[in-house]
């Protein structure tokens, strides 16, 4: 009897482990945010390149290695060519190489693609298969030593004074907070409040405050919105008060500014004093004002973290830079970072994407509008120029395939951050997003930094 039990004793965890590994493998095959089906998954010949480093980041002086799995999904023998093209992230060709391909039907093979170590930076690599009756290309990006990426700051001489003056103007606007409990949206575990306040230029902005009923005082998750994104009550967290603000022109803050994504970032782009983002940045500060003036709602003002993705990532960084009431900063794929280099990188895209798709279109149809004029305004708003002012701990997530926020620009921004406690997470197969692993880690990171269970 005891022998059997002892056998079971060791077999059981082995079975569980095997199951877990299997489950993990299956999970890895199924992305958390499924992307549209791609040619590589359904084609006659499928290429699956995997970088030697899990996150697609290589060290300085490290050989660049990809394992390329080639699968022939047809019944017939195929012959042709496998090649790869390596370029900088601005499209400059660095290397092209190819090998002969011969593969039986319904079979797969692997080849190792090795390249000499590369200088600091990000690189695009395209893997191509060409046969007489089939062509396909799979594009990847890898980074080398990104923590050493340096970019030039184009900070106007009166940058600090400009934002100091903006804060003065904001402070002159009486907030006139209105906090209304929304019983229709509340649950037995959380109270939901709609919050309204007056902000820069006396515009009314609104947000959502969600307070767990289970406790008296909570740290705060202050979320700022993506580009013309409507934030709704965040019911996800049991351990944080969630405050989601809709800056002007977003969500339920469209009383005065209500324009679409094509023009939002162009409102008064030719006038640095009236550019829409001046008010937007100040809206984020006004949201902080609200939090810090409502401790009576259970807000732990010593534990406020600001978070956002894309435009929200930029807004989060700027909020943390301008206001030391923010204790932690987490951002994903921060938009508009290192706008000068972003322009150079985006110039190499076959098809333009946001934000330079919008800026270039504006430039095309406004003959008097020069790029110097654009930077004359935007240099006051480039998140990179705020980065040295960030002193609190920072976590950033980036997607290597992101064209909206090229990885080099995000890392340049990151490297300008003054904080000595900063980390980044690189998701190799993501475009303008991160994955669930990032958010799981972010959750642990926040608890670690705030020392909360």
Partner 1 sequence: MKTRRLFTFVFCLLMLFILPYKTFAGFPIGKYRNLVVPSFSYYSQTDHFDVHGNYIKGAPGARFSSFSANLYVGYGISRRLDLIISVPYLYQVNNLGQGKSIISQGAGDMVAGLSYNLINFKYVRFLSVQVSGIIPLYTAPANGNSALGLGNNGAEVKLMYCGSLPNFIADKGYFNTEVAYRRYFNAQGPDQFSFLGTVGIPVSWHNQVSLDVTVFRSFSSNTTFNINYNAERDYAFVKPQLNFGHQFSRRFSMFLGGYYVPYGINTGLGYGGSVVAIFKL
Q: Which residues bind partner 1 (CB under 8 A)?
A: 1-2, 5-6, 8-10, 12-13, 16-17, 20, 23-24, 27, 189, 214-215, 239, 436-437, 440-441, 443-444, 447-448, 451-453
Minimum gap (Å) between residue 330 Cβ and partner 1: 15
> What is the closest distance, in whole angstroms, from the C-beta atom of residue 183 to partner 1 in the complex?
20
Give the residue with the Cβ less far from partner 1, 7 or 179.
Answer: 7
Element (H, E) at 58: strand 57-58
Phi/psi class of residue 451: alpha, beta or left (left: φ > 0; alpha: ψ in -120 to 50)? left
Q: Please report the sign of the dihedral spanned by the C-alpha atoms of residue 196, residue 198, residue 200, residue 201.
A: positive
Q: Which residue number, 19 or 119, has a Cβ lying nearer to partner 1? A: 19
> Nearer to partner 1 by C-beta: 180 or 452?
452
* Among 407, 276, 405, 382, CA closest to 321: 382
Question: 188 or 364, CB closer to partner 1?
Answer: 188
- d(CA 131, CA 12) in angstroms, rounded, equals 49
| Closest distance of CB 235 from partner 1, Å | 15
Contact at 8 Å (CB) between 218 and 241? yes
Nearer to partner 1, 21 or 99 (CB): 21
User: Of 212 and 406, which CB lies nearer to partner 1 in the complex structure?
Assistant: 212
**Cis amide linkage into residue 132, ω under 30° from 0:** no
162 vs 439, beta carbon nearer partner 1: 439
Residue found by looking up tokens 């106007």 in the block: 156
- Minimal CA–CA distance to 377: which of 359, 389, 358, 364? 359
Q: What minimum distance in Å lies between the beta carbon of 67 and partner 1?
A: 21
Q: How would you write 13-40 as a 3-class SS string?
A: HHHHHHHHHHHHHHHHHCCCCCCCCCHH
Least distance from partner 1 to the Cβ atom of residue 291, Å: 20
Between strands 218-223 and 299-309, the pairing is parallel
Residue 314 tokens, joined? 């930029």
CB of 51 to partner 1, least distance (A): 19
Spatial separation of the C-alpha atoms in residues 121 and 319, rounded to whole Å: 28
Whichever of 12 and 349 has its CB closer to partner 1, that residue is: 12
**Sign for the pseudo-dihedral over CA of 332, 269, 151, 63:** positive
Taking the complex as a whole, how short is the minimal distance between the CB of residue 14 and partner 1, in angstroms?
Answer: 9
Strands 93-103 and 78-88 turn out to be antiparallel
Work out whether strand 204-212 and strand 93-103 pair parallel, antiparallel, or are unpaired.
unpaired
Q: How far is the CB of 280 from partner 1 (least distance, A)?
A: 33
CB closer to partner 1, 56 vs 212 = 212
In order of 223, 249, 395, the CA distances from 255 in angstroms are 21, 8, 34
Question: Smallest gap, in angstroms, from Cβ of residue 124 to partner 1?
Answer: 28
R_g of the chain, CA atoms, integer Å: 25
């Amino acid at each position: 009897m005891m022998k059997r039990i002892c056998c079971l004793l060791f077999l059981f965890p082995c079975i569980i482990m095997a199951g877990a590994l299997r489950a993990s493998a299956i999970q890895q095959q199924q992305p958390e945010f499924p992307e549209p089906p791609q040619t590589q998954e359904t084609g006659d010949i499928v290429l699956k390149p995997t970088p030697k480093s899990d996150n697609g980041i290589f060290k300085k002086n490290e050989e660049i290695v990809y394992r390329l799995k080639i699968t022939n999904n047809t019944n017939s023998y195929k012959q042709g060519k496998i090649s790869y093209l390596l370029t900088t992230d601005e499209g400059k060709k660095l290397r092209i190489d190819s090998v002969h391909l011969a593969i039986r039907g319904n079979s797969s093979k692997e080849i190792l693609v090795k390249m000499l170590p590369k200088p600091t930076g990000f690189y695009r690599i395209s893997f191509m298969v060409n046969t007489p009756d089939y062509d396909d290309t799979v594009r990847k990006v890898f980074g080398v030593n990104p923590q050493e990426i340096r970019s030039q700051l184009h900070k106007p001489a009166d940058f600090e004074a400009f934002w100091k003056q903006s804060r003065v103007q904001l402070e002159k606007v009486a907030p006139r907070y209105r906090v209304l409990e929304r019983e229709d949206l509340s649950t037995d575990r959380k109270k939901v409040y709609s919050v309204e306040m007056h902000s820069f230029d006396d515009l009314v902005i609104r947000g959502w405050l969600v307070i767990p009923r289970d406790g008296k005082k909570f740290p705060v998750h202050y979320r700022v919105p993506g580009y013309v994104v409507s934030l709704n009550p965040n019911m996800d967290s049991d351990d944080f008060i969630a405050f989601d603000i809709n800056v002007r022109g977003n969500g339920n803050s469209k009383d005065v500014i209500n324009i679409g994504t094509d023009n939002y970032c162009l409102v008064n782009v030719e006038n640095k004093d009236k550019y829409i983002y001046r008010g937007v940045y100040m809206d984020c500060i006004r949201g902080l004002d609200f939090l810090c003036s409502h401790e009576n709602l259970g807000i732990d003002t010593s534990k406020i973290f600001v978070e956002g993705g894309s435009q929200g990532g930029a807004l989060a960084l700027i909020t943390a830079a301008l206001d030391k009431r923010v204790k932690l900063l987490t951002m994903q794929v921060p938009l508009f970072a290192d706008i000068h280099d972003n322009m150079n990188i985006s110039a190499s895209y076959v098809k333009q994407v946001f934000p330079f798709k919008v800026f270039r279109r504006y430039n095309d149809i406004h003959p008097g509008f020069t790029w110097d004029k654009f930077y004359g305004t935007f240099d006051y708003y480039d998140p990179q120029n705020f980065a040295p002012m960030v002193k609190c701990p920072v976590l950033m997530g980036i997607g290597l395939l992101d064209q909206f926020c090229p990885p080099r620009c995000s890392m340049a921004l990151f490297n300008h951050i003054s904080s000595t406690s900063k980390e980044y997470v690189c998701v190799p197969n993501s475009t303008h997003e991160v994955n669930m692993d990032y958010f799981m880690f972010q959750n642990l990171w926040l608890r670690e930094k705030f020392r909360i269970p």
